[in-house]
Amino acid sequence: MLLRHTPKEIKERKALMINPAKTCQPIGAMYASLGIKGCLPHSHGSQGCCSYHRSTLTRHYKEPISAATSSFTEGASVFGGQANLLQAINNIFTVYEPEVIAVHTTCLSETIGDDLPQIFAKAIREKTVPEGKTVLGAGTPSYVGSHVTGFSNMVKAMAALAKEPVKKNGKINLIPGWVEPSDMEELKRLAALVGAKINMFPDTSGVLDGPLNGKYTMYPDGGTPIADIKDSGNAIGTLALGEWCSADAARLLDTKCKVPCSILDMPFGLKATDRFIDALRIVAGRSVPEEISVERGKLVDMISDMHQYFYGKKVALVGDPDQLIAMTEFLVSIDMCPIHIITGTPGKKFEKRIKEITKDMGREVNVKAKGDMFLLHQWMKNEPVDLLIGNTYCKYIARDEDVPFVRWGFPILDRQGHQHFPTVGYKGGLRLLEKILGVLLDRKDRDDPEEVFELVL
Amino acid sequence: MGKAQKLVQWDPHNIKEKLLEKYPPKVARKRAKQIMINEALENTTPEIVANVRTIPGIITMRGCTYAGCKGVIMGPTSDVVNLVHGPIGCSFYAWLTRRNQTDGINEGMENYIPYCMSTDMQDSDIIFGGEKKLQAAIQEAYDIFKPKAIAIFATCPVGLIGDDIHAVAKKMKEKFGDCNVFAFSCEGYKGVSQSAGHHIANNQIFTHVVGDTKTEHTEKYKINLLGEYNIGGDGFEIDRILKKCGITNISTFSGNATYDKFAVAGQADLSCVMCHRSINYVADMLETKYGIPWIKINFIGAEATAKSLRKIAKYFDEQELIDRVEEVIAEEMPAVKNAITEVYPRTKGKTAMLFVGGSRAHHYQELFLELGMKTLSAGYEFGHRDDYEGRHVIPNLKVDADSRNIEEIEVEADPVLYRPRKTPEEMAALEKAGVDFKEYEGLNPMMEENTMVVDDLNQYEAEKLVELLKPDLFCAGIKEKFSIQKLGVPMKQLHSYDSGGPYAGFVGAVNFYNEIDRLVNSKVWSYMKAPWQENPELSATYAWE
C-alpha cells in the first residue's frame, strides 16, 4: 500500500495540508501566457519557481515550455528585484526576440513588494522594450488562491490591454478558461459551425500540441495575437467560461470598455454544452446548424445506450472548481452519483454550487473547497466509490483502494492524448463517456467470474 | 535530417564566438568566462567560471536552493516526514517528481515519500507570521503519523518575513521527546542554484541526525555510499554488487535512506563519494569528526564500476576481499560484454552532448566511451570549479557575494568517537599505491582536447550547439528534452532517465547500452519530412490505369 499511513478516521486539520488538490498561482499565469502569440512568459522571482513550473507543464504536455526568470539572489530579495527585471527584459528581447513578454510574480517578489507597472514604465522609458513590442504583467502571489487564480489573474491582465472602444468589431470575446489546447480548438470549431465570429484569448492550441518536423520554433503559429487582445474592447460581448478562470477578465472588459458579458459554466458534458451553444447562437444572432444538433444527439444516444453502466454508480472527484462544477452536473445528468468532491482552490461559491447541482440526487454529498487529496482518500475509505476522476496524483489512491480511475484535469503526467483530443463540447462528452465506460467495463471484465464472463456488453 | 549535412568541422573558437555573438556586451563578457575550450596547456587545465549568479532572462536550466535541499538530499528518505513551510507550490512540485526509489514499501515500515506536506501559507501568514501555523502543522503531522523525525523546509517568503523555524523545531522536539524535529533554512533565493541547498542539507543532517542511533555495525568492510540517490533503482543495483562482494553499505546519502541509515554513518570504515558536488561536505565532516577517510568512486559504466570496486578492495587491503571483488567482476562482465558487442557497431562513432546537474555530465561519459561515442560538449548546471577542474583548485576559490551567506559549520574531532581508520603510514602507503584520498579530478580531464565545457548552459546556447555541432544525442533534463527533439535530435534525460533505469553498475550499463542504441537508431528520426516535402516539385500527374 502506497498511502498506508492514511487513517480511515478523520481528524480535523487546521494547519497541515497533505497531498494538495491545487498548486500555486504562477504556473497558471505561465500557462495563460503561452496562449498569446509570440509570447515568452517571465517569472519575476527566484529561478526555482520558473524551473518547477516549466517542468510540470512539460511533463503534462510532452512539449517544450519556454519561460524566463529574474533569477533573484539574496541581495535582490532584500533590496528589490527591479534591476533583475530590467536586465531580464533587455536580455530576452535581444536574445529570444519575442513579440510579447508576459511577467508574473511569485511569493518572493510579492512579499518584498516589487511594483511591476513602475518597472515596466522605466523599461519603456529607457527603450529596453523595443518599438512595437509589448510587456504585460500580473501579480500572482502564491499565498493567495491557487494555480487557477494565477491563470485568472494573467487573463485579466490581458483584458487590461484592451484599448478604449472605438467601433464595434462584430466579434464575441470568448474566454475559454483553463482548458486543454484540444478543448480550445474544439471551442473554435463549434463557434465556426454556429457562424459566430469570435476573438478567443488565451488560446494554446497550435502552441502546446505542435508537430515534430525537425524544426524548433520558440513561438509557434498558435496563440492569440496581441492586436486581437487589444481589440477585445471593441467586441459586441464577452462569453466567459468558468467563474474562477475567466470571470474577472470579462468583468474588467465590461467596466473598462462597456463590453457586456455572460459568465457560463465550462462546456463539459451535455447541459453545460447546451447552454454554451445556446448563448453563442443568441449573442451571434445565428441559428444552430443541424450538424451540431446531430453531434448532440450522438451524445444523448450514447448515454441511453450505456445507461445501465452509469446508473447509481458512486464517483469521487477532485480538480479545479470550474471543471468540477460542469463535471458534477454531467455525472448527475447521466444518473451517476458524485459523492465525494474536493477542490484545493478556495471559494465559498463552490460548495454552494455543487450542493445545488446534487440536491435531487437523494443523498448528502461530501464537498469541500480548500480541501486536499488526503481528505478525499479518507472519505473514500469511509464510503467507497465505483470510480475516481482526477489528475495523475490520484493514481496512488486508485491503486491502494483498487478503484477504476479516469485521468482528467491538471496535471496529467503519465498518459497522453489530453492535448490532442477534447473533453469539452458534445464530442468531448462522447470522449469522456468512452473513458469512463472503458475503466468501468475493464473492471467488470477483470472481476466477473469466468462462468458469467461476457463477450457482448 | 540527412547525415550528409554533417560535414562542417567547426573550430571550437568559432563556435564559442557564434554562441556569444547575439548577446548584449555585458552578457557576452560574462558568458565567455563560463564557456571553456578544453585545451591541453602546460601542466594546467584552463580555468572556468562557475557557481556564479544566473543572468536574468537568459532561460537557465537551474533550480533553487530549496530544490537542492528538500528535493535532492532529503526527498529520497522514506521515514522522515518532510514538511514544507511555505505556499503550496514548492511542496507540490517536489512531490514524487524525482524518481528516488525506496524499498520501505512493506507493512510496518514507514514510507512518507508518496505524501506531500505543507503549511500552505496564506496571505495572513505572510502578514502576521507563520510560526503558529508551522507549530500547529508539526503537531498535526505528529498526531497523524507518529514519525521518528520531522524535517522542516523554508521557502522564499519564510526568510523575508522572519519566521524562526529553528526555534519552532527545537520547541516541538522537546515537547514530543520521541520525535526529532529539525529545520533547513533553504530559502529559494539563497546562493545561486540548487548547490546551496545541498550544502545546507549536509550541515543540518550532520548536526541533527548523524550519530543519533543505538544501532551498532560490526560487519567487516563497512562503507558509506555518499551522493547516490537511487534514481530508477541505481542504488539497488550498487547495493546488489556490494553485497555480492561482501562489502557492507551501512549508509547511503540518501537513496533509499532511512533516518537510522543517516545516523550510523559515523561507524563506517570508509566513505565512498559518488556525487561529489552534493555531498562532499558530509564526506569531509565525517572524516574530521570520526576519522573516516573518503575516496571518489563512480558506479556509472561497467569499467568504472569495476575500477571503483577494486579501489575499495585496495583500501581494505585484505586478500579475501580483493579476490572476491575479482570474482564478482569476472561473473558480471560476460553479460556486459555480450551487450556491448551487440550494440557497439550501431553506436560507435556517434556523438553526444551532456548537460546535467552537478555530476552526471562527467560520470556518464564513461558509458559513452564504452559505446564508442564521443562527447562533443558537456557542462553542469551548478557545479563548482572543483567539479570541473579538480579539487586542487579549492584553495584558490573565492566565495562571492551571492554565496557568502551559506552557513559553513565548524566540526571538530569527536573526543570519544574519533578513530583514525588507518595509521598515517598505511594512508601514505595506500596513496603511493594509487588510492587517492579526498581527491576528485573533475570533469575537464575526462574530455578530449578541443571539446567545449559550458557552465550553466541556457536554452539559446543549447539550440545553437545542436545546430552547429549536430550531435547524434543530447543529454539533459525534462525542460530541454522536447525543444531538442523538435530539431530531430534524440534526447536522453539523465535526471529522470525518461522513466528507465537503473543505469548504475553492471546491470545498469547493459540497460544504458540498449537505451542509447534504441534512441540513436530509432526510425522516428527519419520521418521529419513527408514525401511531398522531400520532393515538392510536381513533375508529373498521377495516371490512373
- Per DSSP, A299 falls in state H
Question: Could you tell me if A8 lies within 8 Å of chain B, comparing CB atoms?
Answer: no
Residue B537 pLDDT greater than 90, yes or no: no
| pLDDT tens-digit series, residues B30-42 | 999 999 999 866 6
Contacts of A109 in chain B (CB under 8 A): none
Q: Is residue B310 flagged as an active site residue?
A: no
Which of B490, B499, B498, B492 lies closest to B520 in space, CA to CA?
A: B490
Q: Which of B50, B64, B94, B268 is catalytic?
A: B64
In Å, the largest CA–CA distance within chain B is 97
Can you tell me the mean pLDDT for B384-408?
94
Residues 6+ apart with CB under 8 A from A159: A229, A232, A249, A250, A252, A253, A256
Q: What is the pLDDT of residue B105?
A: 79
Contacts of B490 in chain A (CB under 8 A): none
Residue B7 pLDDT greater than 50, yes or no: no
Q: What is the pLDDT of residue B2?
A: 41
Contact predicate B267/B292, CB 8 Å:
no
Can you tell me the mean pLDDT for B520-531?
95
Q: Is residue B64 flagged as an active site residue?
A: yes
| Closest residue on chain A to B141 (Cα) | A16
0.90 surpassed by pTM:
yes
Portion of chain B with pLDDT greater than 90, in percent: 93
Q: What is the pLDDT of residue B42?
A: 60
Residue A152 pLDDT greater than 90, yes or no: yes
Q: Order of strands, edge to edge, in the sheet holding A172-175? A: A198-200, A172-175, A237-241, A261-264
Residue A249 pLDDT greater than 50, yes or no: yes
- For residue A39, give how far its alpha carbon lies from the nearest alpha carbon of chain B (Å): 14
Residue B9 pLDDT greater than 80, yes or no: no
| Closest residue on chain B to A211 (Cα) | B486
Can you tell me the mean pLDDT for A312-330?
98
Sign, CA torsion A399/A400/A402/A406: negative
Can you tell me the mean pLDDT for A330-354?
98
Q: What is the pLDDT of residue B39?
A: 84
Residue B260 pLDDT greater than 60, yes or no: yes
Q: Order of strands, edge to edge, in the sheet holding B248-254? A: B248-254, B222-228, B270-273, B294-296
Q: How many other CB atoms are there within 10 angstroms of residue A445's CB atom? A: 11
Contacts of B140 in chain A (CB under 8 A): 11, 13-16
Q: What does pLDDT average to over chain B?
A: 95
Q: B 403-442 residues with CB below 8 A of A?
A: 405
Q: What is the pLDDT of residue B40?
A: 66
pLDDT grade for B541, boundaries at 50, 70 and 90: confident
Contacts of B123 in chain A (CB under 8 A): 141, 143-144
In this complex, do A107 and B97 lie within 8 Å of one another by their Cβ atoms?
no
Q: What is the pLDDT of residue B155?
A: 98
Residue A201 pLDDT greater than 50, yes or no: yes
Question: Could you tell me if A1 lies within 8 Å of chain B, comparing CB atoms?
Answer: yes
Q: What does pLDDT average to over chain A?
A: 97
Q: What is the pLDDT of residue B535?
A: 84
Q: Is residue B179 flagged as an active site residue?
A: no
Place of cell 496564506: B122
Question: Could you tell me if B55 lies within 8 Å of chain A, comparing CB atoms?
Answer: yes
Q: How far is A263 from A243, CA to CA, in rounded Å? A: 6
pLDDT grade for B106, boundaries at 50, 70 and 90: confident
- For residue A84, give how far its alpha carbon lies from the nearest alpha carbon of chain B (Å): 6
Can you tell me the mean pLDDT for B486-498?
97
Question: Could you tell me if B107 lies within 8 Å of chain A, comparing CB atoms?
Answer: yes
Q: Which of B56, B135, B143 sits opposite A88 (nearest CB)?
A: B56
- Per DSSP, B328 falls in state H
Q: Is residue B475 flagged as an active site residue?
A: no
Question: Could you tell me if B89 lies within 8 Å of chain A, comparing CB atoms?
Answer: yes
